Amino acid sequence: MAEHHHHSPLAQFQVHPLAEFHWRGLDLSFTNSALFMVIAVTAIALFLTLATRKAATVPSRWQLVAEMGYEFVANMLRDNVGKDGMKYFPFVFSLFMFVLITNLLGMMPYGFTVTSHISITFALALVTFLGITAIGFLKHGLHFLGFFLPKGTPLWMAPLMIFIELFAYLARPVSLSIRLAANMMAGHTMLKIIAGFVIMMGFLGGWLPLAFLVALTGFEIFVAVLQAYIFAVLICVYLNDAVHMH
């Protein structure tokens, strides 16, 4: 039974402690999930430090990649929020880089896909959602409540429209987190299943699933980058709603 569980396609998503620590009934153990989040943050910090330490007019390869990342997120903010959105660049850039690197780390051999867990993606989405909502109220005060009642709505339809708009607004962190986690889990599960077919069919019969596995791995890397982009661009869209109320 234990062996069957070990070879399950879902075993790769299991969180297990690397260093156990309990305090007043709370499990504060350092897990494989926490390890890969630390690796991701460290990798991002080292990359940006190396890229900007010796900034030059003629950029090095590291500096060029960093500048491309900067411009990519900056353009995303300008296109979706406008110039007002640039004050939120540090947060959106950090969020994009974290999701991107954790997604890609999950593609490495013996890696762990942090973003396949709804607890992680929901925490990211919820903190962002609360922050954006706070921005809306700080910028517009109670007028921000007008966001939930589209202009021109007949009075008799107002209660229904407010309910629909409020429900859609509150569903944002849920849909944002499920989209990312589900895509990462589904892709990695499929890779594990096909890899099992390669092993089962052996050298002679396994070449076809092996070729498909290689192609699917390339596609999953693309999905890892795409999901980071989608996560960030939706944050920009929500920021636009808070800043401009449309």
Give the tens place of pLDDT for each residue, 35-90.
999 999 999 999 988 888 876 666 778 888 888 999 999 999 999 998 888 899 99
| 213 pLDDT above the threshold of 90 | no
| 16 pLDDT above the threshold of 90 | no
Of 94, 113, 109, 132, nearest in space to 180 by CA: 113
Highest mean pLDDT of the ranges 87-101, 155-169, 193-207: 87-101
Distance, in Å, from the CA atom of 144 to the CA atom of 241, rounded to the nearest integer, reads: 10
Kindly state the average pLDDT of the residues 189-196: 80
Kindly state the average pLDDT of the residues 117-134: 94
DSSP readout, 143-164? GGGGGGS-TT--GGGHHHHHHH
Query: In sequence order, which ranges of the chain are alpha helices (DSSP H)?
Result: 2-6, 32-53, 61-80, 89-105, 118-140, 158-170, 172-205, 207-244
| Residue 59, CB-side half-sphere exposure with 13 Å CA sphere | 11
Q: Could you give the percent of the chain with pLDDT greater than 70?
A: 92
Question: Residue 130 — pLDDT band, cuts 50, 70, 90?
Answer: very high
DSSP readout, 71-86? HHHHHHHHHHT-GGGG
| 204 pLDDT above the threshold of 70 | no
Q: Any residues with CB less than 8 A from the CB of 176 and at least 6 apart, and which?
A: 121, 125, 128, 129, 231, 234
